[in-house]
A and B are shown apart, each in its own frame.
Chain A
């Protein structure tokens, strides 16, 4: 008798938890939906050709994201150019060369720690080292160097995972033919891991694309009415433009901000989509 009551109680708890959990899951999906609907309904009307081609302006209906887009794309391009070779080489070193030595262990702990440093702190680092000591000022170069350091841990971790997945038998086959360590790494390991490496780089770019705080700290300008022409020019980026518009009181700028967010989200989702597609394609193509 007692046992039955207990089982009943347990069943009720089980059911209650199940419904609570479904509610939580539903709530999260609802929030995501609300966020997207709210932003799209506020901003979609503003999306037209002039929004992409206009310079920023004091009048919201003449304001566009042209400079912000160009600034963002050049910034990301430069960031990848810096972070990708260094990050990949560091990962190869840690995974293939220094597996046992102390230096590699220190670097490893260090990377785990860096991944947890708030991005605004990277901004302070960039401000002092690149903007002031190196004298790059509020330039794209200073911003790109800062972002490169920020995404480096992501690139390194992803590259290491990809290299780790390359079966040892391939390395042995290459060494068995008399290939040196570098020949093996360059001709066998990197090509076999390339899909994974590329996926990691793209995901790190999708992280960099939304970064706002560190760029504000290193002096990406809020108002740039011209197109940057070189890495030492001043610039602004889309998230900063959005931030600027969001803090204006006029409804017209809020609409601009929402429209800017639609563009930013499109970029972010596109990059994530490419990364997922690449990963699946690679997984299907190369089965070791």
Chain B
């Protein structure tokens, strides 16, 4: 009797736990379902060709255009600026911490840099709008109050700790014997770092960069606060731009009637954003799988 009861209880618990892990699968299915269902309705009214070729995005105006390009250019522009700031600095600091600095220095500086990753993004948005933009306006006369440059730079600082932290881990994971082999042949730190360590840790470094870019693409509050809400097809960092994420926020805060075409635009725009990050994530999985080296 008891034995049977125990066995049933064990089965029930296992079932409950597997159901819990099903929640994460359902989340993914839910995201894909929600985005595609309303996007499908959207594309039954707006031609998909127009969506990708029209150079204007004005769904909330009288004269409606549904071209995603301006939002896409805004998203890419801020992401590129962030990447240009974060990648060189992030990797440089990672190399410095793992190859040059003392362990003590690293153990103090790394956690401080990770504080940068813990700061809520709305705080960065405030910093970009209230501190960085006025500062840049002194250096670049004619810079508008909303622009791509300031949030781009701040976003770069936000994503940099991801690159530093993950790259430093990748460099640390390389066995000391490899480093010693290089030093043993008379190479100095710089040569060892750039000719031996970085190539050996390349997959980890690449993954860190991809993850950081994906984070920048999806970042919302910094650009919503400091980049403006003007969808413009431009790659000029001094102008105000609107990103996909900002647009989603803009619609959410307004009073667009539900189940209208305007309302569905956020699902179509969201789907584009989701696809971008989804592809980037899967590239990083592929890099991990394909290029991971086992040192044992």
Task: List residues of A whose CB falls within 8 A of some B CB.
Answer: 10-11, 13-14, 17-18, 20-22, 24-25, 27-29, 31-32, 34-35, 38-39, 42, 85-87, 89-90, 92-94, 97-98, 103-104, 106-107, 109-114, 116-125, 127-129, 132, 149, 152-153, 156, 180-182, 206, 209-213, 216-217, 219, 222, 239, 242-243, 246-247, 254, 257-258, 261, 264-265, 268-269, 272, 276
Question: What DSSP secondary structure best describes chain B's contact surface?
Answer: helix
Q: Interface digits, B78-108 against A, CB 8 Å rule (1 contact, 0 not)?
A: 0000000000010011011100100000000
For chain B, the count of residues having a C-beta within 8 Å of the partner chain is 80
Contact A120 B214 (CB under 8 A): no
Say whether B51 faces chain A, with CB atoms less than 8 Å apart: no
Is the pair B217, A24 in contact by a Cβ cutoff of 8 Å?
no
15 A-B pairs in the complex with CB atoms less than 8 angstroms apart:
A31-B157, A93-B14, A103-B18, A109-B285, A112-B281, A116-B277, A121-B273, A123-B248, A125-B31, A128-B38, A181-B10, A210-B122, A212-B121, A264-B120, A268-B119
Q: Which of A24, A114, A128 contacts B96 (CB 8 A)?
A: A24
Binding site for A on B (CB under 8 A): 6, 9-10, 13-14, 16-18, 20-25, 27-28, 30-31, 34-35, 38, 89, 92-93, 95-97, 100, 109, 111-113, 115-116, 118-127, 129-131, 157, 160, 188-191, 193, 211, 214, 217-221, 224-225, 245, 248-249, 252-253, 258, 266-267, 270, 273-274, 277-278, 280-282, 285
Complex contact B253–A21 (CB within 8 A): no
* Additional A-B contact list (7), CB under 8 Å, known A213-B220, A258-B126: A35-B123, A90-B23, A93-B17, A116-B277, A212-B122, A239-B122, A239-B221
- B220 touching A119, Cβ below 8 Å: yes
Instruction: Determine chain A's interface SS by DSSP, over half rule.
Output: helix
With A121-B270, A216-B253 known as contacts, the answer to whether A106 contacts B25 (CB < 8 A) is yes
Query: Knowing A24-B89, A257-B126 touch, does A125 contact B27 (C-beta < 8 A)?
Result: yes
Q: Which residues of B contact A272 (CB under 8 A)?
A: 115, 118
Contact yes or no, A124 B190, CB < 8 A: no
Q: Which residues of A contact B97 (CB under 8 A)?
A: 25
Q: Quick one: given A14-B189, A90-B23, A243-B122, are A116 and B281 in contact (CB under 8 Å)?
A: yes
Closest A residue to B214 by beta carbon equals A116
Q: Provide the bound-state CA to CA distance between A93 and B9, in Å.
A: 15
Shortest CB-to-CB span from B95 to chain A, Å, is 7
The CA of A98 and the CA of B93, in the complex, are separated in Å by: 40
Q: Tell whether, in the assembled complex, residue B14 and residue A113 are in contact, meaning their CB atoms are under 8 Å apart.
A: no
